[in-house]
Amino acid sequence: MGLTLELAHIYKAYGGQQVVTDCSFTFEPGGTYVIMGPNGCGKSTLLRIAALLEKPDQGEVKFLNGGNPIEPDINLKRRLTMVFPRVGVFNTTVAKNVAYGLQIRGVAKSEMQARVDSALELVRLTHKRTQRALTLSSGETMRLGLARGLAIEPDILFLDEPTTSIDVANTKIIEQVLRRISQDKKLTLIIVTHDAAQAARFSGRLLFMRDGNLVDHL
């Protein structure tokens, strides 16, 4: 089975400003979680902490496999993937951008090819595979970021505002991909969004960040 992610009493402050306050939450394997909340309430910070990209001031980020705790080492970190709101690309082709994360994970060439192909197909960028990534539109770049995350086949995929400042057509493609993944339940999806209508379109647990903590959205 997949990974359980458990946040236990997480605190984080920046320069005296408390951003995350005693946040505890358990993300079950295969679940879909949508986190909403106003600008600056700490959503991205919490996501970075949960993805082990940043350390909390206090509290613990725990990962469990079938109830057994797992060391937060490099192997575990490779099972987590974050898609950032501003996707950074390398100055090479679209396909090579997707392949990069697999190369550093030592995935065999034939397997890599297959995963790149299917990820590009899923986000409908197959026809752009040899185009230089820096020449993609912003919507296409976001789709590339999603393809890159999916190709890694992580246990947990974190998405920070995957459709912000992206037009309707691109948003639709991204939502379709995410809904499909959500239904497969092969990985845990943790999505931060500003868009309440979008949040309602995912059949996941809706959460709200309030006073530095996650609460169920009513």
Ligand X SMILES: Nc1ncnc2c1ncn2[C@@H]1O[C@H](COP(=O)(O)OP(=O)(O)OP(=O)(O)O)[C@@H](O)[C@H]1O
The interface partner of residue 37, options being ligand X, Mg ion, none and the CB cut-off 5 to 8 Å by kind, is ligand X
User: Between residues 48 and 128, which has the closer beta carbon with respect to Mg ion?
Assistant: 48
User: Between residues 120 and 192, which has the closer beta carbon with respect to ligand X?
Assistant: 192
Strand 188-192 with 32-36, pairing: parallel
User: Between residues 44 and 188, which has the closer beta carbon with respect to Mg ion?
Assistant: 44
Quote the tokens at residue 155.
Answer: 């246990």
- Residue type at 114 in one-letter notation: A
The interface partner of residue 39, options being ligand X, Mg ion, none and the CB cut-off 5 to 8 Å by kind, is ligand X
**# residues contacting Mg ion (CB under 5 A):** 2
User: Between residues 43 and 128, which has the closer beta carbon with respect to Mg ion?
Assistant: 43
Residues 42, 211: Cα–Cα separation, whole Å: 9
**Interface positions, 10-49, toward ligand X (CB under 6 A):** 14, 19, 37, 39-45
Q: Among all chains, which residue has been given the structure tokens 């709101």?
A: 85
Residues 118, 104: Cα–Cα separation, whole Å: 19
Contacts of 97 (CB under 8 A, 6+ apart): 89, 90, 133, 144, 148
Q: Which of 4, 31, 37, 44 binds Mg ion (CB under 5 A)?
A: 44
| Contact set with ligand X (CB under 6 A) | 14, 19, 37, 39-45
